[in-house]
Structure 1
Amino acid sequence: MLVSVALDKSQDNPQLIFESMNSTGKDLSQADLIRNYILMGQPTSEQDKLYSTYWRPMEQGFGQQGYADYFDLFIRDFLTIHNKGKICKINEVYEAFKIYHKSGVTNEQLLVDVFTFSKYYISMYFCKDTDKDLNRLWEELKELDVNVSFPFLMRVYYDYDINKISKADFITIIKLTTSYIVRRVICEIPTNSLNKTFATFYGKIKQDNYITSVLAEYAVKDSYRAFPTNDEFKEKLIVKSIYNLRIKNYILEALENQNHKEPINITRDGYTIEHIMPQNPELKKEWQDMLGVNWKEVQKNYLHTLGNLTLTGYNSELSDSPFNIKQDIKGGFKDSHLRLNDALGSLSKWDETEIVNRVKILANQAVTIWEYPKVSKVDIEEYTKKDKVDIIYSSTDHYQSMLPEIAAIYEKLDRKILSLDVAIKKEYKKDYVAYKVDTNFTDIEHYKQHLKLWVNMPFDSVDDPKELCKDVTNIGHTGNGGAEIKIVTTTDLDAVMEIIKQSLRLQIE
């Protein structure tokens, strides 16, 4: 059914009508709304030019399904780049886009910018880069499935595109980002903060010392943002259950392919992961004798670790055969052309000692694949050196004097807050003491007979069973956030700390 709606140009707003018309019951995509927001209202000739020059090539670059599934995600990343790391919700992309457009950029300038960054996104996510070296790196990143790094890497791609940084430096940054992700997975550091980490990363780059500042920023990250060191990475690799990781194929493939001009692809070439010491809980007597009297403990501790895993095209033939059979049969370890199997063919036994020896060798190899930032202490000190500013406030001396019992409460709160995470910084502001990671998550103002505390989160989001918080969303106040707590001697500080933790968690996640 085709419906024609005639509008009066002097009275009707076609974009508003387009936003509200929805007979299918399926929400209009943010991409559809943005496209028509940019094009609608332009003269027909201008619409045709903008669509054919910019929008249609983007649709073709993403592909029909890719455009439907990922264009909204791309626009969110685009807005994150241009809004100083602020991340909007996916269903609020259109509204955020309209706000950004009101900054004064023309429709065509905006569309040129979107088109430019879409090329980077398409190259990265869909691995369509015309540069083979870069494309291999995008394929690795896609296997890791950490698209939260895109706002950072797209902005760096732009700098590479305009020749601000060299290809070698660009590759170093991509590889370092991959290493950061892999090491954190192995070391079991929660990933829920990565979107914020990458969203704000570019703002920390010193443009006059670009690559060094990126290396230094990775190296100085701490707490939940830490870049695991070589020792931490190797220590975890020895005991980590690699087989249960989603990226197990990626890890083994990278170890096999390092410095190889004829790399294998596990899926394409029909390889599978082989447990050298079999998974069968009822191991054959030959295995029990080889592993020793504590064979069950050895199997439990090392079965899925990197030291006991390899690749083969003969998984069914090897099965849970004794070690010497796995070595000698056709396609066995002695017959294999895979590097991961080189040493296995010459061993006389396979037990706990050999598993640990092998994983240590592979761990030493791993730290050269997923490298730690190569940056000197001097460069780190220079990067972290603050620009000289006059420090006006360095203590609580300029605040109102507190009664001894209120001062004791403040000191107790101060210790509790700072002990929540090593990344927390305390700053003395004109009116209050600020506690922050990226930005303030709680502020405390001093009064003689009480304290005022604000948490930097919406009042409606606070879980406050004891109703300690006051809604100050639309009330002027010196701190940050929509929830205020007045603290006196009878206030439940444990309940206050639970609310503060919510604000910290919101910022970190």
Structure 2
Amino acid sequence: MAIIKHAARQTLGQLIGANNPPVEVPDDSQRQYAWGKREVDTYWDDIQKFMRARRTGTKASSEYFIGPIVTITDDKITSRSLLDGQQRLTTSTILIAAIRDTLGTMASTEARVMANNIQRDYIARKDGRHSQPQYFLTLSLFDRDFFKDFIQDWNEATGKVAQTELPSRPSHKLVQDAYSLFEGHIASALAPLISDDERIDWLEELRDCLVKGLVFVEVQTPTSSDANEVFETINSRGKDLSTVDLVRNFLMEKSRGDDEKARVNSAWRSLLDGFERREDIEKFLRHFWVAGHGDVRSHSLYTTIRRELTERFDKELPRYEVRTFAAELQNASGRYIELITSGTGLEALDSLLDEFKSLGADAAYPLLLAVSRKYDYSELVRITQALISYYVRWTVVGRRESTLLEEKLFDLAKQVSSGLSLSDALQQIINWTPDDAAFQADFEQAPIPRSTQARYLLTAIERHLRQRDGVDDVVVAGASTVHVEHIYPQAPEADYRLGDHGAWVNRLGNQTLLHGRKNRIASNKAYPEKVEAYASSSFLITQGTGINRLWDADQDAWRTQGIEERQIDLAKIAIEVWPIGARDSGDVVA
């Protein structure tokens, strides 16, 4: 059970005020700044509601409880290490800085004095002109320097911050975005006010709501282990839960000495710098664990990791150290980034990985990660080809249960990590893949409502046709200019609308490819008005697969039998495009 030294009510001004011990986010815990527009706007809306309620003067509306925070404090409480509450305190400091800067731009001397006081009382203070500032909130190493430069290092003479530090992580951009949102909200609120006095009064009221009205409960603990336990308990019940944060805190707790902690920080720095979005780090962490241990659901990932690693870390012989796990995690993250960004440097494999992205085939990444740990990238080509055919035949066209595919691939990843050979893994994928007869029957009836998947399938068939006929494929390469065209329109004119419109509009036999300008011209037109765009198209799939069968000139109406006929023709080609197992020719669909 966690030891709690003290739990006390604290206003924001008491937590980050000049007369209280500074709050510092330790380098061995907590995440980087993570609030986006939704959270920042919600915070602003809550503050505005509180301001309006506070004006009534009732005791019930004098304070606004914003939640608990967890700190590690020394015996004399001369310093406070913040384990939980960083997002709220950081966002509050950003808003206070936006108030300061708004006052700092006003011509009024009173406004400038207020701005200086806000800086000194709630953000940072200096004992002398040339002394180093004391920051009332210091973030962890991932955001510390940028936050100081962009928010905290304010020049009283110029009324500005330096802003010389360039954002280098997604969290830095979120800090910028939060500040811009607050700046815009404040400007909108001040716009109806006529005089500077009214504006200053409003800004003063907003400041007081924040520093005097926002109330926290600070839970003080004596050690990081106690703080972690409190932190996990609080976060297991709320939105702030982050598996990445909890795993890092756990590794820090289990580290034996500063060198192991430094190794964990090095691994986490690679994660934060290597991935563009926090969601990608969460996905990687799960896929990394699945690759070695089999399926685990996202909601139980942390408890599973903690339980299994605790057992391994605490075992005397053979010793498995935190530094070893951190190194494995860091090495795997580099390979994972190359896989999801098609950046392996091997053209044949990267083209196949582009297909994975087009299909959204995330379930295959743990297996590829497991294989890439033991084999060179050149040996991934055949198994990647087989995976694409399996995914297309089973899920995209066959519309079979995707969770079953995921379970099989996750278990196969674990088997590969445990020693299964690549040839045996390939054979398992072949055994799972629907045969040609089943695939052709599925393809003949398949609706493909997702435009990304329809575009992939049609482009793959187009590339196959061009390779078969020896036609230059340059026209397919400009993928950003290529669009999926519904031959029978998605929004047809009333006179031409089929009675069972929904049953036919997304059938693959009703979809083809056109370049952007032709697509805009042909969109939602009856067939006679599409003929020229189709006839002059550079795509073989649009020119020569019987599009004219879809229009009955005598009846002046769309012909559903033609959609079926065209899809049957495409199904015959699809068997060659997505063969069972590896592609004998080594052809890659872009």
After TM superposition, the score normalised by the length of structure 2 is 0.51
More helix by share: 2
Tell me by how many angstroms 1:353 deviates: 6.1
Match of 1:317 among 508, 521, 525: 521
1:193 aligns with 2:404: yes
TM-superposed CA distance for 1:122, in Å, is 1.8
2:425 to 209, 214, 224: 214
Q: In the alignment, which residue of structure 1 is the partner of 2:68? A: none
Check conservation: 2:367, 2:410, Cα contact below 8 A: yes
For the residues of structure 2 that align with 1:138 and 1:209, how far apart are their CA atoms? 23
Q: Partners of 1:320 and 1:21 in 2: how far apart?
A: 56
The answer to whether the Cα contact below 8 Å between 1:275 and 1:309 also exists between their aligned partners in 2 is yes
Given the alignment of the two structures, is residue 369 of structure 1 paired with residue 570 of structure 2, yes or no? no
Structure with greater contact order relative to length (CA < 8 Å, sep ≥ 6): 2
Q: 1:87 aligns with which of 289, 292, 296?
A: 296
Q: Which amino acid aligns with 1:198?
A: L
Alignment RMSD (CA, Å): 3.8
Contact 2:492–2:525 (8 Å) recurs in 1: no
SS of 2:512's equivalent in the other structure is strand
Deviations 1:416-472 (A, max 9, x none): xxxxxxxxxxxxxxxxxxxxxxxxxxxxxxxxxxxxxxxxxxxxxxxxxxxxxxxxx
The correspondence for 2:506, drawn from 298, 304, 307, is 304
CA deviation string 1:364-395 (max 9, x = no partner): 222222221369xxxxxxxxxxxxxxxxxxxx
What is the aligned partner in structure 1 of residue 23 from structure 2? 3
- 1:17 corresponds in structure 2 to 227
CA distance in 2, matches of 1:228, 1:15: 52
- 1:151 is matched with 366
Identify the match of residue 232 of structure 1 among 438, 441, 450: 438
Query: CA offset at residue 58 of structure 1?
Result: 2.2
Deviations 1:215-260 (A, max 9, x none): 3212333xxxxx2211211122222222467622222222233446
Q: Offset of 1:105 from its aligned partner?
A: 1.3
* Of 339, 346, 353, the match for 1:131: 346
Per the alignment, residue 418 of structure 1 pairs with none
* Inter-partner Cα distance in structure 2 for 1:190 and 1:212: 26
Q: Does the C-alpha gap of structure 1 residues 136 and 101 become closer, same or farther in structure 2, counting only changes over 3 Å?
A: farther
**Cα 1:338/1:276, change in 2 over 3 Å:** farther
**Larger radius of gyration between Structure 1 and Structure 2:** 2
Check 1:79–1:374 CA distance in 2 against 1; reply closer, same or farther (3 A cut). closer
Per-residue CA deviation, residues 88-143 of structure 1 (Å, 9 max, x unaligned), is: 44344255245235324111111111112212322233444443433332232123
Q: Could you tell me which amino acid in structure 1 is paired with residue 320 of structure 2?
A: V
| Corresponding residue number in structure 2 for 1:57 | 270
What is the CA distance between 1:200 and its match in structure 2?
1.0
Do the aligned partners of 1:276 and 1:323 also contact (CA within 8 Å) in 2? Answer: yes
CA contact (8 A) 1:334 1:342 kept: yes
Aligned match of 2:261: 47
CA distance in 2: counterparts of 1:79 and 1:148, whole angstroms: 13
Structure 2 equivalent of residue 175 of structure 1: 385
**Counterpart secondary structure, 1:255:** helix
Pair 7,174 (structure 1): closer, same or farther in 2 beyond 3 Å: farther
The alpha-carbon deviation at position 270 of structure 1 amounts to 5.2
- 1:359–1:217 Cα change, 3 Å: same
Find the counterpart in structure 1 of residue 457 from structure 2: 251
| Change in CA separation of 1:237 and 1:245 when aligned onto 2, cut-off 3 Å | farther
Q: Map residues 387-402 of structure 1 onto 2, 5 A cutoff.
A: none
Distance between the aligned counterparts of 1:75 and 1:187, measured in 2?
Answer: 30
Structure 2 distance, partners of 1:107, 1:211, is 29
In the superposition, relative to structure 1, how do residues 157 and 45 fare at CA in structure 2: closer, same or farther (>3 Å)?
closer
Residue 19 and residue 353 in structure 1: after superposition, are their counterparts in 2 closer, same or farther (change >3 A)?
A: same
Matched residues in 2 for 1:160 and 1:29: separation?
A: 32
What amino acid sits opposite 1:317 in the alignment? I
User: Alpha-carbon deviation of 1:266?
Assistant: 7.9
Unaligned runs of 5+ in 1: 222-226, 289-294, 376-509
Q: Is the 8 A contact 1:253 1:266 kept in 2?
A: no
Give, in angstroms, the shift of residue 337 of structure 1: 0.9
> Are 1:335 and 2:536 counterparts?
yes
Give the letter for the 2:458 counterpart. Answer: L
